[in-house]
């Protein structure tokens, strides 16, 4: 399935996304401000804000934010979440198609778990054109790392993914997060529009019941687009494996790789 079609799947689970997806670490926002030097009430542009997971913490700090979101339902969730913040404006549009009012420039363009869904032929040049002199671009993700000592549940369930034809690409387990290459910094530099001024990696862990973990999986594009019979088989095994545990829970790690570049 194409990037354009997959990125539209998130809108079908808009009401679930805000609850099921985790918040980003507080240290990430502290580092973002320290490295970029931005301070309230600087004007920020968020690309692909979803239901406002990364918008809300920055709005609470007093930043002015223009948030662009492709999905109608996700944008509606974000408007509800951010209703009390008069300095946050929501735009329902793709980043590629949206144009700000004439003369409007931003101090920071940022994207949380959305940058890889934007057209690679457009995103860096457009972000640079929308930034004031000395402005910054910051992007980060939300991945599933497997650090040393990760929960063996994931090796067990990987067998089911392979059985249904949705197995992991490459050797199992993959390298731990600190050994995983992050291509984003190289992309920044190769674009010719940004000089990387900082990178950070954050890893944390959360506990999930079977219902909570299945709800989380239902917010990922691959699972949303998966054939119902495959999802049914997978979720049946998740419930069976966790039912055999005394507390019925698993530990899932998260990682976020933050890259910040200054406009050239």
Residue 8 pLDDT exceeds 90: no
Cα 131 to Cα 24, 37, 106, 260, distances in angstroms = 24, 14, 5, 13
Q: Does 219 reside within a domain?
A: no
Angle formed by the axes of helices 228-243 and 210-217, nearest 10°: 150
Domain of residue 183 covers 3-146+176-205+253-263
Q: Does 23 reside within a domain?
A: yes
pTM comes to 0.94
Closest CA to 212 of 168, 233, 242: 242
Q: Does 165 reside within a domain?
A: no
**Number of structural domains found in the chain:** 1
Q: Does 27 reside within a domain?
A: yes
Rounded to a whole number, what is the distance in angstroms from the first to the last CA of the chain?
Answer: 35
**Which residue reads 């490295």 in tokens?**
35
Please say whether the dihedral angle defined by the alpha carbons of residues 128, 129, 131 and 135, taken in this order, is positive or negative. Answer: positive
Q: Does 107 reside within a domain?
A: yes
pLDDT in tens, 159-202: 999 999 998 888 899 999 999 888 999 999 999 999 999 999 99
Task: Say if CB 256 and CB 140 are below 8 A apart.
Answer: yes
Q: Does 171 reside within a domain?
A: no
């Amino acid at each position: 399935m194409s990037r354009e079609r997959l990125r539209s799947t998130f809108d079908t689970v808009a009401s679930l996304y805000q609850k099921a997806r985790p918040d980003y670490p507080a240290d990430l926002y502290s580092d973002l401000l320290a490295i970029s030097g931005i301070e309230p009430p600087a004007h920020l542009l968020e690309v692909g804000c979803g239901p406002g997971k990364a918008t809300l913490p920055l709005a609470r700090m007093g930043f002015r934010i223009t948030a662009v979101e492709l999905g109608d339902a996700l944008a509606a969730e974000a408007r509800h979440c951010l209703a009390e913040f008069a300095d946050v404006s929501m735009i329902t549009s793709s980043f590629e198609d949206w144009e700000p009012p004439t003369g409007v420039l931003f101090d920071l363009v940022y994207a949380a778990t959305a940058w890889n869904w934007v057209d690679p032929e457009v995103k860096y040049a457009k972000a640079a054109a929308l930034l004031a002199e000395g402005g910054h671009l910051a992007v980060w993700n939300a991945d599933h790392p497997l650090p040393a000592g990760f929960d063996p549940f994931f090796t067990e369930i990987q067998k089911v993914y392979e059985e249904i034809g949705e197995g992991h690409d490459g050797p199992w387990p993959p390298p731990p997060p600190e050994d995983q290459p992050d291509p984003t910094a190289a992309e920044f530099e190769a674009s010719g529009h940004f000089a990387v001024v900082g990178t950070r990696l954050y890893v944390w862990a959360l506990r999930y019941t079977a219902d909570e973990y299945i709800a989380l999986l239902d917010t990922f594009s691959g699972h949303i687009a998966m054939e119902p019979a495959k999802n049914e088989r997978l979720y049946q095994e998740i419930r069976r494996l966790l039912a055999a545990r005394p507390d019925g829970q698993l530990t899932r790690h998260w990682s976020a790789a933050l890259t910040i570049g200054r406009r050239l």
